[in-house]
Amino acid sequence: MLKFQESIGARASKRPLFGVLAALFFAVGPVLPAHAVDVPTLFTAEVPLNEESDNPRDDAYEAALIEVLTRVSGPQLSANLAAIEELFPVPSAYVTQFRPGGGDSTLWVSFDGEAIEHVLRAAGQTVWGSDRPLTLVWLAVDWGQGEREIIAAGEPDRSPQQSRSIDRNHLLRERMLEIAAKRGLPLAFPLLDAADLQSVTFSDIWGGFDERIVKASRRYAARSILIGRVRPGSGQRNRWTYAFSGQLLTWNGPPEAIIDQIADTLAAEFAVGGDAPLETVALNVAGVQTIDDYGSVQAMLSNLGLIESFSISEVAGDTISYQVEVRGGAERLRRALRFAGLLEQAGLDDFGGPDPDSALEFFYSP
């Protein structure tokens, strides 16, 4: 029986969407997007526990809340202690779990994410939910004396002569991952397997052949790509290129500053002010040909934090029409869908710009 069910599911995933879905979609109610609380680390923090303090645990709760607010609302709020005290006078009221941390004298704290988001939105504060795209980092490091490498996700095979760079490679990678975690920014490094090494070399990164790097990143489904050139201890400035939403931005500075810059850039794109009006936007997505395609589009919409809810209004051929309840309006939704990977189609006014009176038109291309 199990095998029979699996074969039916496999066949259904390849059947045309219209024939499978058209008779069902009118019975489907609004689909609520996944909440940010579902992101495991967004509302958790591990902070020092000062046993000599008058209230060690309360102090730790406050420090952990500040770290969480940095991820969810940004450094402008988390640096404003007076505003935090007004919004969250009793941080312990939002704590759902706590336990000793992994380090000496630290406390791991988990907060009620939905409650925190509710307070922030009610106060008109910016909230960046769970729609956090992966940032892929291609980092070329010139250690000097002819030692050059690309930092990989794991530890590549090395000769005995190269083994001394393992620790500093690991430390650099972990340092960047730790900084990104502080901002709630998913960060990854390439595998540097045979497929990567056939597409990208150290010289490609160092020489600024950025389009080649962006092309090699497609296998990771990453649309936020950081390309770095670092020469530690040389006095030369680190050079970075950031590929985002069809743009190439160039920066200089230490990894800490660059990761903060990326987090701020993405937050500006995806975070929504609590006082942003809720609008209904018509959205048409073409190219949805199978049940698998349909599931992917549904998941994509569910994971956009600026969407409050959405429902299907019509299915015609390979096109699904949605009614989307979104904070920030059609333009914010347009930018978010572009970044999520949908291809924008027609819907332009007489001057070649987006027509505000028409439905958003996008094409799904897996």
pLDDT score at 260: 93
Domain co-membership, 8 together with 93: no
Across 32-36, 51-55, 266-270, 280-284, least confident range: 32-36
Domain co-membership, 261 together with 163: yes
Domain co-membership, 112 together with 213: no
Q: What is the mean pLDDT of residues 257-275?
A: 87
pLDDT score at 37: 28
pLDDT band per the 50, 70, 90 thresholds, residue 57: very high
Query: What is the average pLDDT value for the chain, to the nearest integer?
Result: 84
Across 20-29, 112-121, 198-207, 287-296, least confident range: 20-29
Domain co-membership, 169 together with 235: yes
DSSP structure string for 273-333: ETTPPEEEEEEEEE---SHHHHHHHHHHHHT-TTEEEEEEEEEETTEEEEEEEEETHHHHH
CATH code at 158?
A: 3.40.50
**pLDDT single digits (tens) 280-301:** 999 999 999 999 999 999 988 9
| Domain stops at, among 75, 99, 127 | 127
DSSP structure string for 231-250: -TTS-PPPEEEEEETTEEEE
- Helix axis angle, 56-72 relative to 113-122, nearest 10°? 70
Query: Look-up: residue for tokens 């028409």?
Result: 358
pLDDT score at 146: 84
**pLDDT single digits (tens) 202-219:** 999 999 999 999 999 999
Q: What is the mean pLDDT of residues 7-15?
A: 40
Domain co-membership, 88 together with 171: no
Domain co-membership, 200 together with 292: no
> Which of 250, 190, 238 has the alpha carbon at shortest distance from 215?
190
Q: Please give the structure tokens belonging to residue 151.
A: 């930092």
Radius of gyration of the chain, Cα coordinates, nearest whole angstrom: 23
| Domain stops at, among 270, 304, 324 | 270
Q: Please give the structure tokens belonging to residue 15.
A: 């059947």
Domain co-membership, 295 together with 214: no
| Domain stops at, among 213, 242, 270 | 270
Domain co-membership, 139 together with 261: yes
pLDDT score at 250: 95
Domain co-membership, 257 together with 141: yes
Domain co-membership, 291 together with 325: yes
Domain co-membership, 139 together with 266: yes
pLDDT score at 7: 32
pLDDT band per the 50, 70, 90 thresholds, residue 111: very high
Q: Please give the structure tokens belonging to residue 207.
A: 């020489």
Alpha helices in 47-165 (DSSP H): 56-72, 75-78, 81-87, 113-122
Q: Please give the structure tokens belonging to residue 45.
A: 């923090």
pLDDT band per the 50, 70, 90 thresholds, residue 154: confident
Domain co-membership, 202 together with 323: no
pTM: 0.76
Whether the Cβ atoms of residue 148 and residue 142 lie closer than 8 Å to each other = yes
Which domain, by its residues, includes 58? Answer: 40-127
Task: Please count the structural domains in the chain.
Answer: 3
Report which secondary-structure segment, H or E, holds 19.
helix 17-21
**What is the spatial distance between Cα 100 and Cα 106, in angstroms, rounded to a whole number?**
6
Asked whether residue 265 carries a pLDDT value surpassing 70, the answer given is yes
Whether the Cβ atoms of residue 303 and residue 39 lie closer than 8 Å to each other = no
